[in-house]
Amino acid sequence: MQKMDWDLYLMPYEQAVEELKVKLKNIRNEFKKRKVHSPIEFVTGRVKSINSIYNKATRLHFPINDNIAWEIRDIAGLRIICQFIDDISFVVDMLRERKDMKIFLEKDYVTQPKETGYRGYHLAVEYPIMTIDGQKTIPVEIQIRTLGMNFWATIEHSLQYKYEGIIPEDIKLRLVESAKASYTLDNEMNKIRDEVKDAQIEFTRKKESPIDPLLSIVELDLDVDTESVYFDEKQIELQEDKEEENEHN
């Protein structure tokens, strides 16, 4: 087995995650500056841990070498969270049009959910970065979900961690039913999205109102990283690896 200098090997992936987070947050901020609805609610990202890379490579029978990132594909991972289902397709179309990345794999789990009930849209992209040795193109995985899909997936990942990947059948069934309920809610909110968007615009316009100090209590600082909440490696990598294994079988 080839000995890897992981600090050096992972540097481009760390750079890619940081660059893409900034770019995607800037898209969100531009929509907000224009005072129109942003299809991007917030963005998180992470670089896969070395232990998780080894575990996944072993499970999927991939050799550990310089090509491992193209086998695993999600060493660099980003997650885009949207308010509405329609926002997902909007974001996907935006990413397809970008010149700074090239999509080489798409998986639509929104309209074709997994047996577990999971929904989301996954893109694997080729992303070029500049290093001291010149340009290097690396794979990055981008997951796009609604708030509801992300909440469900976070809970499901927690249960995967608790039960070490073997969730009791009765809880599995309840998870599937809750995923259906969450998707029904997403669809209902999607039907009234115009009213919701108008309400949010009006909410923003009232920043100078006397209740502004109260509103600030519940406002989120969307520039604060939330990887600890949405990319807790101990909770999610077990499930991600299991899903990847199923896809290769």
- Give the three-state DSSP class for 209: coil
In the annotation, is 141 catalytic? yes
The torsion angles phi and psi of 107, rounded to 5 degrees, stand at -135, 115
Which of 41, 141, 156, 240 is labelled catalytic?
141
**Residue carrying the six token digits 């109260």:** 214
Task: Please tell me the distance from the alpha carbon of residue 174 to that of residue 143, in angstroms, as a whole number.
Answer: 24
Instruction: Measure CA of the first residue to CA of the last residue in the chain; give whole Å.
Output: 24
**DSSP result, 187-207:** HHHHHTHHHHHHHHHHHHHGG
Nearest to 124 by CA among 148, 145, 95: 95
Q: Which of 231, 118, 236 is nearest to 175 (CA)?
A: 118
Annotated catalytic residues are: 141
